[in-house]
């Protein structure tokens, strides 16, 4: 009688669990992640087996059967210092989380999960066939692990593994795993989100919750639908033409890069800085009012209204009172000579120097002419046979007779003639 009543209570409890489980699936609807475990398709293996409690019982699709005597639980054998259970899906999926049930027939909740404490969960990386840990339990032995437990284990995989090497105080050095049911939730490969939307074929890496997290080369955007800055064309394989930059090469470089340099095709930055009058990495911002020149680091303090040409610094509206010059850099209140006065003084000095030089040249010419005339007159002598003459006789050459210039040779000639005449 007692045994019959216990069986009836067990059946009622199982029926209630089934109803709640089905309602949960219904309310999750199409927006729920898929349960990737398929009974009779998904396989399971374990490190050892206690009696008839084989690993495949953990994926039989009956999470409401949580007692040993209900024949739906996996259990590792005695005498082991490590224990593991591995679930093998039919193909690679984009896994989000793992939900599982542990036994609940050891009289108290604390004892029910006592052999599970400090377990680890891994998924197998299909590219390198190596285990990657996605969860490590840190629940102390004096606390209960809530059941069912849902553990985040995000990764692209076809295999999930439970692993434990921590024995309880009651089991000496022996380690057990007693997992009754496992459900693995996620989406198919290259899909993400609660409705398992398809990822773009341009996505190189994706997250089961957030979608694409890494795009193929030269692509960007939430769905990898855009070209990275600096590239264009449908396959994003062509660099921007000279003078253009940005996403899809849609922006034109500034014309104010220093020395007409071409801007960077990705960022639009001018490589050597800006021409005078402009600032910023892209050289598209004019100097603020009151500044000019390279990097706008010069000020037009004395310009009227503090305004000047951003390139040259010329005060185009004039100067404040007391200042003069193109850039209003000269103090007009100064007692010293102005630029005009200095220029006039220099011109006057130059004119005086020129006049002095002209007079000096004229004097030298006159002096030289006078000296030549004096030298010519001193060389003329009187002929001794022409009779007495006097320097004061003005008619000595009245008939314009040729003057005989006596030289040393002519004197000898005359003496020779005189001797011959006397003989």
Which residue range(s) make up the domain with 221?
A: 197-227
Structural domain includes residue 275: no
Of 314, 334, 354, the position where a domain reaches its end is 334
291, 152: one domain = no
Of 300, 316, 334, the position where a domain reaches its end is 334
CATH code for the domain of 108: 2.60.120.260
Percent of the chain with pLDDT over 90: 56
Does the structure show a pLDDT above 70 at 11? Answer: no
173, 307: one domain = no
pLDDT digits (tens, 9 = 90+) for 195-250: 999 888 888 888 999 888 889 999 988 888 899 999 999 899 999 999 999 999 99
What confidence score (pLDDT) does residue 273 get? 93
Residue entry with tokens 């921007």: 240
Does the structure show a pLDDT above 80 at 306? Answer: yes
78, 180: one domain = yes
Q: What is the mean pLDDT of the chain?
A: 83
What confidence score (pLDDT) does residue 375 get? 76
pTM for the full model?
Answer: 0.57
180, 75: one domain = yes
Of 334, 349, 373, the position where a domain reaches its end is 334
Residue entry with tokens 């005060």: 315
201, 87: one domain = no
150, 211: one domain = no
Q: What residues contact 229, with CB distance under 8 A and at least 6 apart?
A: 245, 246, 247, 265, 266, 267
102, 213: one domain = no
65, 156: one domain = yes
111, 152: one domain = yes
Residue entry with tokens 């100067």: 319
pLDDT digits (tens, 9 = 90+) for 122-155: 999 998 889 999 999 999 999 999 999 999 999 9
Structural domain includes residue 273: no
Structural domain includes residue 206: yes
53, 183: one domain = yes
Domain tally, the chain: 3
184, 201: one domain = no
pLDDT digits (tens, 9 = 90+) for 333-381: 755 566 677 888 888 888 989 999 999 989 888 888 888 887 766 554 4
Name the residue with higher pLDDT: 316 or 30.
316
Structural domain includes residue 234: no
181, 220: one domain = no
pLDDT digits (tens, 9 = 90+) for 80-109: 999 999 999 999 999 999 999 999 998 899
Does the structure show a pLDDT above 90 at 37? Answer: yes
Average pLDDT over residues 238-267: 94
Average pLDDT over residues 8-16: 49
Does the structure show a pLDDT above 80 at 285? Answer: yes
């Amino acid at each position: 009688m007692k045994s019959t009543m216990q069986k009836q209570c067990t059946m009622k409890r199982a029926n209630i669990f089934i109803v709640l489980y089905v309602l949960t699936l219904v309310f999750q609807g199409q927006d729920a992640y898929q349960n990737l475990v398929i009974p009779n398709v998904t396989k399971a293996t374990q490190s050892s087996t206690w009696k008839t409690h084989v690993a495949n019982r953990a994926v039989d699709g009956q999470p409401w059967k949580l007692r040993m005597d209900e024949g739906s639980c996996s259990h590792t054998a005695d005498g082991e210092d490590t224990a593991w259970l591995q679930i093998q899906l039919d193909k690679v999926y984009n896994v989000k989380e793992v939900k599982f049930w542990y036994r609940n027939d050891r009289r108290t909740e604390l004892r029910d999960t006592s052999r599970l404490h400090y377990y680890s969960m891994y998924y197998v990386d299909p590219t390198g066939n190596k285990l990657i840990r996605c969860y490590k339990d840190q629940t102390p032995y004096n606390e209960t692990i809530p059941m069912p437990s849902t553990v985040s284990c995000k990764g692209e995989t076809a295999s999930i593994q439970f692993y434990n090497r921590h024995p309880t105080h009651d089991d000496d050095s022996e380690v057990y795993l007693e997992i009754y049911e496992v459900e693995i939730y996620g989406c198919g490969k290259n899909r993400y989100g609660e409705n398992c939307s398809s990822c773009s074929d341009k996505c190189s890496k994706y997250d089961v919750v957030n979608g694409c997290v890494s795009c193929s080369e030269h692509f960007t955007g939430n769905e990898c639908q855009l070209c990275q800055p600096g590239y264009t064309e449908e396959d994003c394989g062509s660099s921007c033409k000279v003078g253009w930059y940005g996403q899809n090469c849609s922006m034109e470089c500034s014309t104010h890069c220093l020395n007409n340099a071409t801007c960077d095709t990705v960022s639009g930055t001018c490589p050597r800085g800006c021409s005078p009058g402009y600032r910023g990495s892209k050289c598209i911002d004019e100097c603020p009012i009151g500044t000019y020149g390279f990097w706008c680091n010069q000020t037009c303090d004395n310009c009227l209204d503090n305004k000047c040409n951003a390139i040259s610094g010329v005060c185009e509206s004039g100067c404040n009172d007391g200042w003069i010059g193109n850039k209003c850099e000269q103090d007009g209140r100064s007692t010293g000579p102005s630029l005009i006065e200095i220029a006039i003084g220099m011109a006057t000095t130059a004119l005086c120097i020129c006049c002095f030089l002209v007079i000096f040249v004229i004097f030298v010419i006159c002096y030289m002419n006078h000296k030549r005339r004096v030298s010519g007159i001193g060389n003329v002598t009187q002929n001794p046979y022409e009779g007495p003459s006097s320097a004061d006789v003005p008619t000595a050459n009245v008939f314009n007779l040729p003057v005989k210039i006596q030289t040393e040779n002519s004197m000898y000639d005359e003496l020779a003639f005189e001797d011959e005449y006397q003989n």
